[in-house]
Amino acid sequence: MNQFDDSKKKLAEAAESTKEAVKDAAQTARDSAKEFAQETRASAREAAQTTREAAHQAMDKAQEGLRAVEKELSPAIDDLSARAQEFCNKGIHLCAEGTDRARRHFQQAAETTTRYVVEQPGKSILMAAAAGAAIAAAFLLGRRR
């Protein structure tokens, strides 16, 4: 039985040795996994920070670009505004001139008509009667249709 006991003892030692090796392997795997997770987390944090910085830089560049465009366009906008104001002023001036010219023409026509009526009262009455008759005839013809 000696050989059997020896084999049993060797088998027990091999089992214990295997058990220790599995424990060591499991601990090594846990340590490796933990280290990998920590490194991955650190890499993810670095990537997130780098992405934030890149986004901030992009926003800063975009703001600088907008300020540059605004600065470049500001004189053009001011010029267009001044031109628009100038055109408005010219339009107002032209309307005022047209109104004044029309008032002078109407006044001149009224004076000419008054002078003609004073100088030719008979003809004026006949012309007024003819104009009234023509308007009445046009009105009556328009009603019949």
Q: Are the beta carbons of 122 and 115 closer than 8 angstroms?
A: no
Q: What is the pTM of this model?
A: 0.42
Whole-number pLDDT of residue 113: 86
Which residues in the chain show pLDDT less than 50?
A: none
Residues 6+ apart with CB under 8 A from 117: 124
Q: Are the beta carbons of 120 and 113 closer than 8 angstroms?
A: no
User: How far, in Å, CA of 136 to CA of 145, rounded?
Assistant: 15
Per-residue DSSP letter, 1:
-
